[in-house]
């Protein structure tokens, strides 16, 4: 009798342990499914795949663009358009100022707290995490317009450099070996792994705020669907293509001040829509400089904002062009003779 009772207790205990184990495994699998940097077969295996356009990777982009079609039925209010345009510029600055000039090139310094804010802010753009972005960009500079450049229009054409390269699973894993200076911050790694959270929260916030305004401020003629469609989907798609134009258009159309070993171009139109990133040839010649426009007439809004942030103490040590930058190109020391150029890219 006692032995039977003991066996029953043991059976119940084993059942509970098995249930808890299954629950833990289910939770672990669920978290992994949300982790943008988890690959069951291993990141190295995924990176080794052929770099080709994959339908499964195209679906998110097709869905994002398809969502913009709702704009034909959801007419925007003046306030909605203001929000959409503001979010375009705010997030473009986050990409150009933080993902690019800070995380990729470390062209200025900031506190650890602000660094985290920059990472989350940039991630709201929906252009992956800051470490993924920086790792790919550093590789781009090392291999610019060569065979291993992941988004070169010279190597694989305009469409591939503009959007095709992102639809290849081989380019999805983050190469953490390329960014050792950033991986030592666990909070940045966390943002990078769950890079979908900031844009999701932004979209949700816009939907909720829009409905609150519909009820509390009817004179604005604004609703949740309006802010979601125009403030998030339309704004995000335009932002995406504006950024990608630097990879594609910026290596095809424009002028070349410096004889860099790639096809980077300076393009005023791109500079205007990307807050200064259009001075791409300047940037490829002096990648570590916080300012991409060298002359006063080369408009670089990102740099102007960074200067204001430096004034109020949010950032420090904005790196400048060398004195020779304004000299005629033929008098400037060739890139191959300047060791610091390599250090600026591979920090």
Residue-wise pLDDT for 228-237, tens only, equals 999 999 999 9
Is the model more confident about 334 or about 111?
Answer: 111
Per the rule left: phi > 0, alpha: psi between -120 and 50, beta: everything else, 66 is alpha
Q: pLDDT value at position 231? A: 97
Give the pLDDT mean for 156-166.
94
Q: Residue 257 is encoded by which pair of tokens?
A: 């001040």
Q: pLDDT value at position 106? A: 96
- For residue 162, pLDDT over 90 is answered with yes
Give the pLDDT mean for 57-81.
95
Do residues 290 and 275 touch, judged by C-beta distance below 8 A? no
The CA distance from 86 to 69, in Å, is: 21
The CA distance from 335 to 262, in Å, is: 12
- For residue 157, pLDDT over 70 is answered with yes
Give the percent of the chain with pLDDT over 70. 85
Mean pLDDT across the chain, nearest whole number?
88
Q: What is the pTM of this model?
A: 0.88
Q: pLDDT value at position 37? A: 87
Cβ neighbour number for residue 169 with a 10 Å cutoff: 16
* DSSP conformation class of 261: S
State the pLDDT confidence band at 34, using cuts at 50, 70 and 90.
confident
State the pLDDT confidence band at 243, using cuts at 50, 70 and 90.
very high
- For residue 10, pLDDT over 70 is answered with no
Helix, strand, or coil (residue 299): coil
Q: pLDDT value at position 324? A: 75
State the pLDDT confidence band at 342, using cuts at 50, 70 and 90.
very low
Give the pLDDT mean for 214-225.
94
Is the model more confident about 44 or about 208?
Answer: 208
Is the model more confident about 250 or about 323?
Answer: 250
- For residue 304, pLDDT over 70 is answered with yes
Closest to 291 in 3D by CA, of 40, 25, 100, 35: 100
Q: Residue 126 is encoded by which pair of tokens?
A: 């929906």
Do residues 270 and 246 touch, judged by C-beta distance below 8 A? yes
Do residues 192 and 131 touch, judged by C-beta distance below 8 A? yes
Per the rule left: phi > 0, alpha: psi between -120 and 50, beta: everything else, 42 is left
Give the pLDDT mean for 69-81.
96
State the pLDDT confidence band at 345, using cuts at 50, 70 and 90.
very low
- For residue 222, pLDDT over 80 is answered with yes
- The burial class, CB within 10 Å (0-12 / 13-18 / 19+), for 333 is exposed
Residue 273 host element (H or E): helix 268-273
Beta bridge partners of 316: 109
Do residues 142 and 345 touch, judged by C-beta distance below 8 A? yes
Q: pLDDT tens for residues 256-283?
A: 999 999 999 999 999 999 999 999 999 9
Q: pLDDT tens for residues 92-117?
A: 999 999 999 999 999 999 999 999 99
Q: Residue 64 is encoded by which pair of tokens?
A: 């994002």
Is the model more confident about 202 or about 20?
Answer: 202
Q: Residue 3 is encoded by which pair of tokens?
A: 């032995």
Q: pLDDT value at position 70? A: 96
Give the pLDDT mean for 174-181.
94
- For residue 183, pLDDT over 70 is answered with yes
Q: Residue 321 is encoded by which pair of tokens?
A: 């062009």
CA 287 to chain CA mean position, Å: 18
Task: Give me the residue spans of the domains in the chain.
Answer: 52-345
State the pLDDT confidence band at 339, using cuts at 50, 70 and 90.
very low
Give the pLDDT mean for 150-172.
93
């Amino acid at each position: 009798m006692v032995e039977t009772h003991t066996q029953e207790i043991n059976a119940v205990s084993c059942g509970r342990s098995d249930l808890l184990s299954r629950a833990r495994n289910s939770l672990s699998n669920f978290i992994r499914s949300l982790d943008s940097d988890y690959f069951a077969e291993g990141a190295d295996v995924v990176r080794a795949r052929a770099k080709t356009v994959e339908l499964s990777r195209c679906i998110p982009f097709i869905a994002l663009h398809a969502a913009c079609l709702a704009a034909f039925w959801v007419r925007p209010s003046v306030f909605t358009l203001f929000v959409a345009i503001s979010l375009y510029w705010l997030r473009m600055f986050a990409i150009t100022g933080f993902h690019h000039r800070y995380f990729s090139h470390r062209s200025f310094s900031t506190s650890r707290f602000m660094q985290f804010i920059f990472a989350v802010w940039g991630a709201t753009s929906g252009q992956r995490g800051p470490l993924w972005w920086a790792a790919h960009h550093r590789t781009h500079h090392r291999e610019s317009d060569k065979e291993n450049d992941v988004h070169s229009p010279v190597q694989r054409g305009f469409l591939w450099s503009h959007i095709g390269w992102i639809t290849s699973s081989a380019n999805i894993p983050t190469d953490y070996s390329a960014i050792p200076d950033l991986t030592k911050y666990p909070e940045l790694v966390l943002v990078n792994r769950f890079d979908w959270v900031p844009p999701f929260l932004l979209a949700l916030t816009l939907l909720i705020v829009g409905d609150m305004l519909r009820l509390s401020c009817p004179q604005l003629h604004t609703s949740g669907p309006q802010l979601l469609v125009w403030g998030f989907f339309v704004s995000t798609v335009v932002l995406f293509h504006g950024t990608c134009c630097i990879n594609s258009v910026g290596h095809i159309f424009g002028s070349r001040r410096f004889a860099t070993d790639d096809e980077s171009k300076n393009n005023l139109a791109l500079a205007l829509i990307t807050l200064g990133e259009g001075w791409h040839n300047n940037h490829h010649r002096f990648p570590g400089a916080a300012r991409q426009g060298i002359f006063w007439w080369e408009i670089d809004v990102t740099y102007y904002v960074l200067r204001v942030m430096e004034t109020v103490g949010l950032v420090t040590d904005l790196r400048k062009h060398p004195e020779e930058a304004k000299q005629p190109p033929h008098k400037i020391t060739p890139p191959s003779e300047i060791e610091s150029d390599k250090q600026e890219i591979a920090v």
